[in-house]
């Protein structure tokens, strides 16, 4: 490693602009791409480069932007009036120690890859440049500042669209707005003026200032100009989302994840997925979700900040939020696991079962139509169809415990707080309002009476109607 490679890196993220084309109450840089606010992508990239300090320059919607980045270990510089990129840079540069390289990023270009930035930095350091501009090439670079070079290919200056001559406008190489500079940048940027038609302080003027100071200026060209595609309106936001989605799914597939219909799934970059996981069409995975090797996520399931252990199967149309699913468990279709759900190994949750703050130990089965809230259930317990844990008394939520090896008959209600001992039985249709001891059978429902001959007496008074509508029954009534 050479001495230059050890220079610390500081990053300034420009994020004070208004973003009016987004037509939104949310500041532009907080619009999410693949679940992360755009400015968050810039901060993440900065971190991945090992930045010593990250300064985010805020202005429009400053409070909200700062709140969204609280806890990310960045500092903020307020730019109260947006007087141009040069001015924004100076606002941020005041916080820098002044002895490292300085990288400038924008808060609204989420697609810029860490690989590209590493390439830029490496070029800057290897060439011993004073300033390196990240550039791209497009058939039509309208809107961007153009890179003007001399006969030998050396970079001379950047000319903004508004000030460009027809020949300059024909230049296809454009300024991405991303630069890396040596530690003199803040001092030189202080000399930028606003003597231009827009009366803005252009950070691009720094390039000529470096040149007059005798610093070497270079351009580093992007392989894919889409990486610096800004998301200025909702259409571009959707384009950015699509590019990011494709990037994420392709990475996952490279790592051994099967994605049956990659264009239909949405996976946030915070999600971790192991080998041989199968994602069926329409799956949405968000937040801090972890899916261990070999699990299957069924079609149109939505999994947020949950952990799915190896070999578990989540069947179609299930919705999980802050849940954990044990090895080999089988969930859904149409299951809903709400926050605080912990399913042990080989648990079976069937259709239309809702759980919340519920721990179901190994081998518990709740196959159909149940609500299990604020409850722990011991291993191998069978929860019958239609079981409800009535955890709410209108004011408070109450906690219940069900033991291991219990059989809860269908359509039972456990009125919380309730304790049911190991190996107990609960008769179907019970409203359980007392605790059930270990090994007992609880029957908590009205005793059945059979009123012999009742049907014949009832229909007898309605013979006419039965005749017209129910031919089988009228035949039965005529028999003796």
Q: Are 319 and 301 in contact (CB under 8 A)?
A: yes
Nearer to ligand UD1 among residue 113 and residue 264 (C-beta): 113
Nearer to ligand UD1 among residue 203 and residue 436 (C-beta): 203
Residue 238 to residue 77: CA distance in whole angstroms? 29
Angle, CA of 356, 361 and 366, to the nearest 5°: 60
- Reported residue count of the chain is 480
Q: Is position 368 annotated as part of the catalytic site?
A: yes
Nearest distance in Å: CB 238, ligand UD1: 19
Helix (H) or strand (E) holding 254: helix 234-254
Structure tokens at 149: 């070079």
* Interacting residues toward ligand UD1 by CB under 6 A: 14-17, 57, 59, 79, 82-85, 87-88, 106-108, 144-145, 158, 160, 174-177, 202-204, 230
Nearest distance in Å: CB 139, ligand UD1: 16
Angle, CA of 20, 23 and 26, to the nearest 5°: 90
- Give the active site residue among 87, 368, 398, 433: 368
Nearest distance in Å: CB 110, ligand UD1: 11
Nearest distance in Å: CB 52, ligand UD1: 21
Which 3 state secondary structure label does DSSP give 408? strand
Q: Are strands 313-314 and 32-33 parallel, antiparallel or unpaired?
A: unpaired
Nearer to ligand UD1 among residue 215 and residue 230 (C-beta): 230
Nearer to ligand UD1 among residue 203 and residue 291 (C-beta): 203
- The burial of 70, by beta-carbon neighbours within 10 Å (0-12 exposed, 13-18 middle, 19 or more buried), is given as exposed
Nearest to 296 by CA among 264, 258, 334, 350: 258
Q: Are strands 53-58 and 75-78 parallel, antiparallel or unpaired?
A: parallel
Structure tokens at 358: 């519920």
Nearer to ligand UD1 among residue 200 and residue 467 (C-beta): 200
Nearest to 148 by CA among 173, 124, 131: 173
Nearest distance in Å: CB 213, ligand UD1: 19
Q: Which residues are catalytic?
A: 368
């Amino acid at each position: 490693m050479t001495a230059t490679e050890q220079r610390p890196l500081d990053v300034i993220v420009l994020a004070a602009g208004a973003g009016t084309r987004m037509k939104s109450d949310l500041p532009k840089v907080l619009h999410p791409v693949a679940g992360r606010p755009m400015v968050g992508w810039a901060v993440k990239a900065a971190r991945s480069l090992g930045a010593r300090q990250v300064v985010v320059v805020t202005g429009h919607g400053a409070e909200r932007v700062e709140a969204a980045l609280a806890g990310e270990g960045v500092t903020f510089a307020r730019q109260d009036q947006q007087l141009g990129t040069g001015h924004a840079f100076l606002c941020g540069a005041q916080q820098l120690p002044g002895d490292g390289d300085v990288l400038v990023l924008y808060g609204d270009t989420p697609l810029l890859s860490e690989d590209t930035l590493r390439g830029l930095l490496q070029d800057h350091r290897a060439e011993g440049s004073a300033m390196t501009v990240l550039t791209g090439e497009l058939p039509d670079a309208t809107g961007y500042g153009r890179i003007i070079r001399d006969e030998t290919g050396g970079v001379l200056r950047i000319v903004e669209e508004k000030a460009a001559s027809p020949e300059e406008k024909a230049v296809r190489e454009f300024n991405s707005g991303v630069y890396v500079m040596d530690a003199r940048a803040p001092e030189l940027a202080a000399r930028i003026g606003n003597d231009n038609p827009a009366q803005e302080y252009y950070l691009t003027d720094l390039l000529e200032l470096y040149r007059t100071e005798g610093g070497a200026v270079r351009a580093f060209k992007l392989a894919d100009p889409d990486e610096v595609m800004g998301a200025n309106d909702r259409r571009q936001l959707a384009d950015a989302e699509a590019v990011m989605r494709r990037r994420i799914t392709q990475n996952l597939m490279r790592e051994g994840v099967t994605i049956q219909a990659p264009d239909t799934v949405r996976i946030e970059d915070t999600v971790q997925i192991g080998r041989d996981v199968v994602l069926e069409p329409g799956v949405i995975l968000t937040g801090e979700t972890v899916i261990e090797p070999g699990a299957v996520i069924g079609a149109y399931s939505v999994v947020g900040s949950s952990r799915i252990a190896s070999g578990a199967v989540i069947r179609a149309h299930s919705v999980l939020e802050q849940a954990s699913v044990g090895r080999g468990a089988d969930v859904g279709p149409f299951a809903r696991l709400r926050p605080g759900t912990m399913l042990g190994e080989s648990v079976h949750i069937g259709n239309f079962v809702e759980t919340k703050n519920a721990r179901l130990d190994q081998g518990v089965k709740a196959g159909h139509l149940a609500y299990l809230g604020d409850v722990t259930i011991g291993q191998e317990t069978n929860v019958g169809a239609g079981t409800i844990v009535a955890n709410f008394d209108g004011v408070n939520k109450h906690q219940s415990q069900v033991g291991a090896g219990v059989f809860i008959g269908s359509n039972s209600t456990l009125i919380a707080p309730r304790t049911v001992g190991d190996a107990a039985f609960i008769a179907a249709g019970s409203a359980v309002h007392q605790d059930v001891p270990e090994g007992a059978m609880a029957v908590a429902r009205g005793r059945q009476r059979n009123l012999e001959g009742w049907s014949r007496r009832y229909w007898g008074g309605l013979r006419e109607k039965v005749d017209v509508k129910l031919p089988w029954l009228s035949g039965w009534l005529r028999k003796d």
